[in-house]
Amino acid sequence: MNNGKKIALVIGWGSVKCAAALGLLRVLKREGIGIDMVIASGGGSIFGALFALGYDVEEIVSMNQRLWTHEVTEKTNRLAILQLILPKIFKVGEYFNLRDDQLMNERLFEALGKQTFKDTTIPLFISATDYKTGKHIVISQGSIYQAVRATVALPLVFPPIQVDNQLLADGYLSEPLPIGVAIQEGAQIIIAMGFESISQEARNSFSDYLLHLSGILSNNLLQASLSFYNLAHHSELFIIFPQFEDDIHMFDTHKVPEIIQIGEAEGEKLLPKLKQKLEFSQ
């Protein structure tokens, strides 16, 4: 079905919203359209990694329901509260995080274990950010668990982690939708699913306020990089931004089935254009 064309799937940063990629993958699988490489950032890396490791889409959906539950992100890190109230005593270092990451780490490890990038069935690239320099880092070797854990380290919420000699944090800080990696790796058809992150709802807490500001920055970064990638790619770049009727918050794991359906609908919309591109040479 791919007619010899190299297809890359890019899943951008978007926390729980990234589950929409599973809906898209469901449609592609049904149509027999293969993905030749996956590039993912933030929450998208969990689904991207499992897919690249050869898990079936339905298996990933079921794993996600079991592993990514509300309690994963529920526990507050008490030290962070003290750091906020008494910064002179409890100094804010590189590891300031409002949520405790222990359960998340356990669940990620349960899903990914000791698998490495060598275990994938198709090439996998995970996008992260060097916490100290802000440089975009593309991880394509070593432990997948560590790479995923690094790229879900949303600033203020979860702490960055040390991978080899680098302190790595969320990929969205440098590349919210890492299309550049797909271009660099020679993909002809790029299907990129991205997510905007601004909430229109009232902000009731300090963290909501900070996340709103961070959303403004990342959305603008996303738009700027998209302009460039649209010009830079030599072939077809399909960009999908699923539209959610209600605000989806970072920890709304109970909305995952609905999010997957929205992703599926986006996949159906893409299909005629994608098939046309696959049938005719560029």
Partner 1 sequence: MNIHDQQVDHVTIITIEGSIDALTAPKITEHIDGLVSDGKVKLVADFSGVDYTSSAGLRVLLAAVKETRSKSGDLFLVGVQPDVEKVLKLTGFTSILKIFPDIDSAVKSFA
Positions that interact with partner 1 (CB under 8 A): 136, 175, 180-181, 183-184, 186, 225, 228-229, 231-235, 282
Characterize the bridge pairing of strands 136-139 and 166-170.
unpaired
Best CA proximity match to 209, nearest among 78, 98, 86, 73: 98
- Judged by beta carbon, residue 76 or residue 227, the one nearer partner 1 is 227
CA dihedral 17, 177, 122, 32 (to 10 degrees): 60
For partner 1, the closer of residues 118 and 234 by Cβ is 234
Which residues are paired to 182 by β-bridges?
Answer: none
In the chain, alpha helices (H) = 20-30, 44-52, 57-67, 78-85, 102-112, 144-151, 179-184, 206-232, 256-279
CA dist 274 and 174 (Å) reads 29
Do 189 and 234 contact (CB within 8 A), yes or no?
no
133 by Cβ neighbours in 10 Å (0-12 / 13-18 / 19+) ranks as exposed
Closest approach, Cβ 22 to partner 1, in A, equals: 26
Name residues whose C-beta falls within 8 Å of residue 121's C-beta, 6 or more positions apart in sequence: 52, 53, 54
CB-nearer residue toward partner 1: 22 or 126? 126
Lookup: tokens for 136 = 């975009």
**From its phi and psi, is residue 4 left (phi > 0), alpha (psi between -120 and 50) or beta?**
left
- Rounded to a whole number of angstroms, the minimum distance from the CB of residue 271 to partner 1 is 24
Residue 276 Cβ vs partner 1, minimum distance, rounded to whole Å? 18
Give residues with Cβ within 8 angstroms of 108, minimum separation 6: 46, 67, 145, 148, 149, 152
In terms of CB distance, is 81 or 224 closer to partner 1?
Answer: 224
Of 82 and 224, CB closest to partner 1: 224
Tokens 């689904």 sit on residue: 47
Cβ of residue 274: shortest distance to partner 1, in angstroms?
A: 18
Q: How far is the CB of 181 from partner 1 (least distance, A)?
A: 7
Is the Cβ of residue 4 or residue 272 nearer to partner 1 in the bound state?
Answer: 4
Question: Residue 254 to residues 65, 88, 258: CA-CA distances in angstroms?
Answer: 9, 39, 9
Q: Residue 82 or 232: which CB sits closer to partner 1?
A: 232
Identity of the residue, 57 or 177, whose beta carbon is nearer to partner 1 in the bound complex = 177
Q: Minimum CB separation from partner 1 for residue 169, in Å?
A: 18
In whole angstroms, how close is the CB of 76 to partner 1 at the nearest point? 36
Q: How far is the CB of 186 from partner 1 (least distance, A)?
A: 7
